[in-house]
Chains A and B, each alone.
Chain A
Amino acid sequence: MKRILIFIGVCSTLAMNGQDTLWILPGTWIQGLDTMPALRSEVQPTWTGFNAVIDRPANTSNSIVIVNTDTIEHTWSTNAPDAAITSLPPEMATEVSLPSLPQGSYHYSLIDEPGKVLGAGGLLRIGWTDETMFYWNLSEWQPSMMELAAAGESIDWTLPYVPRHFTINERAYPSTADDPNALVAVNLNDTCFISISNLGHMNHVLHFHGFHVDIMTSTDHPERVGWNKDTVPIRKGESMTVRLVAFQEGMYPVHNHNLIAVTNAGFYPGGMITTIHVMP
């Protein structure tokens, strides 16, 4: 208890505002009938179950304080080029440098095995300050694997991977409609941008009904910047930004076209589905 008070004191000294401090929080996450152990990176020291987004200006180096409230050490990094790897001792606050990056979408995550499986990772948006922005943190979850990771046991990655839950911002459809960052609600003829990252362990591919989107940035497919697509693969570990011009009104689904991923524990519809709602 004494150590926790000390590190909270340290981090409150280092932190400038909420988004300048991330709290690594162990907790219990409920999806449908499944209850599973999980980790989250949140902007406050209390568990909500949702990973935070970090926003930073482009071409400016800065830092962030990460408070690891877990009882084991974790390893933190980003998918930005030449990203540093930082160890986060248990029950300690650590200041992490964020390098100068060009405008784009990236993500941060824990890259040690328990951290990777338990899911403390989120979007790192660089240079998007004036635009209408949404974000989709894509992931999928296999409860049995999460139980092993939380118990400190090693994961046998050669076994078939059969995730039961597929989420956008830690929500599965229809709960994605409750998330103002997942539900793209815009007015007719608006232009908006969506930061997307795949923090899961398998590739995903999103199909946009009603619209083609412009690929603006991509960490893994820079050669696709400028392509105009309705079906967009986001590889494991990839981040991208797409631009959507809402040229027609109505409600249009966006969903994973790997169709096992539009289920919740096997029930259809569910999983990685959200909606574009264009109002007149």
Chain B
Amino acid sequence: MKRIPIILLAWGLITSNAWSQMPPPQMFSEMDGFHFLADGTPLPIWGYGWVTDGYITLPGPLLTYTEGEQVDLNFTNPSPESHTIHLHGLDVDQANDGVPTTSFFVVTGQSTTYSFIADRPGTFLYHCHVTTTLHLTMGMYGMILVTRPDMTLFEGGPSYTEDVPLLFSDLEIATNLDPVGSFPFHTIRPDVFMVNGRADNQLELASQIVSYEPGQTLALRLGSMAYSRMMCAFPPELHAVCHMSDGRAIPEPFEVDSLEIYPGERFTVLITPDAGWNGTIAADYWNMADGFVEDTQFIRVRDAALDIDESTATPWSGYPNPTQSIIQYPPALDVTVWDAWGREVFHGDLLDGQLHVSDWSVGTYVVRAGEGPISRFVVVD
């Protein structure tokens, strides 16, 4: 019995040493990614991704920290232009603020570490602050969550069971297709409106549906990187209560049936949906200048006990990924693969599910079977 604590102590020393020697997660930026619109059209994007994944996404990866954590966010920029990471709402010091003129650029080939203490729980954002008007609409943004281990929103605040990040954003197709030609920037008017980078039928995928067990309280982490103001409508069956805005507790939480969210704002809304409910939160995207609704997207909320046909909604994934020679998928017909510039590089049937890529260029590819969901894979040396 006496030996067990000694062994545990030794194991603890070994593992903590091993962890300390592991490089922390590293984010990178690129300008050669692409994103699928709801109709299947691939669209060029700039963005952030994990170095270990090898590809960028829209939005960028969700960054999650624990309240009080000392954060060292490593960032490397192999892309052809300078970028930064602005930690929106975290009130970091000037050096870590990610504004080129007051902090610094991360130029091509350079790496840096943004350091800060995640001293307050809440919902925050990050984005590139270089030529911000352009780099944001191209896709360089994401959400940050700072949470508490006891699953309360803040000290003395209400408890909940699960975080549900919902990042609203938009883009203008013409700008993404021709970033240089997007000048003058004040004429940018978005025409694609997204929730977590998804729109329209993409929000019907099982992976995008907010499912719950009756009695559960979910924390909707709402943030906007849209160019316009948002209006979210919460049906009464959700029993929605707004508790936080911009990473701070609201003095008097309020029941909410509709909530305006302006660009850069964040709110935390707790919902405790009725058992058996299957409905939507409607998100209206307003034109900032002219005051009309440009688009409405619907976030599905569903009791997990209700049947969902996941056969067509499960993301299609292959193995291994990254790969050097062959990536194995479930057998499928009518498979299309695009490269990072949206060019079709393969179209055909994969009767044995094997995609041979040994003579393909190194990079990120997107694959889709028929009209099914898309997935990405990376070809490495």
Chain A residues packing against B (C-beta within 8 Å):
160-164, 166, 202-203, 205, 207, 209-212, 223, 226-231, 233, 248-253, 257-263, 265-269
Contact = CB atoms under 8 A, between A and B. Distances in A.
B164 interface: no
Interface stretch (B29-37, B262-270, B333-341): B262-270
Contact of B186 (A212, A226, A227, A265): A265
Interface in B82-113: 86, 88-89, 91-95, 97, 99, 102
Contacts of B250: 227
Given A203-B288, A260-B188, A268-B133, A227 B102 contact: no
B262 A253 contact: no
Contact of A227 (B89, B183, B248): B248
A207 B88 contact: yes
30 contacts: A161-B290, A163-B289, A166-B186, A202-B289, A205-B262, A209-B86, A210-B93, A212-B246, A227-B248, A228-B248, A231-B262, A233-B229, A248-B91, A248-B94, A250-B93, A252-B94, A258-B262, A258-B263, A258-B288, A259-B132, A259-B133, A259-B188, A259-B263, A260-B187, A260-B188, A260-B288, A263-B184, A266-B185, A267-B185, A268-B134
A197 B92 CA distance: 27
A248 B93 contact: yes
Interface in B173-190: 183-188
B227 interface: yes
Contacts of B89: 230-231
Given A226-B251, A258-B227, A207 B264 contact: yes
DSSP majority for the B interface?
A: loop
B265 A209 contact: no
Contact of A263 (B88, B137, B186, B266): B186
A54 B170 CA distance: 40
Contacts of B93: 210, 248, 250
B180 to A, nearest CB: 13
A257 B262 contact: yes
Q: Which 3 A-B pairs have the closest CB atoms?
A: A266-B184, A250-B94, A257-B264
B245 interface: yes
Contacts of B187: 162, 260, 266
Nearest to A264: B186
A265 B184 CA distance: 7
Contacts of A259: 132-133, 136-137, 185, 188, 227, 263
B91 A212 contact: yes
Contacts of B131: 268-269
Contacts of B263: 205, 231, 257-259
Contacts of B265: 205, 229, 231, 233
Contacts of A160: 289-290
A202 B227 CA distance: 13
B183 to A, nearest CB: 6
Nearest to B182: A266
Interface string B177-206: 000000111111000000000000000000
Contacts of B185: 259-260, 263, 266-268
Contacts of B290: 160-161, 202
B97 A231 contact: no
Given A229-B248, A258-B227, A262-B132, A205 B94 contact: no
A268 B136 CA distance: 13
B260 interface: yes
A249 B93 CA distance: 8
A227 B133 contact: no
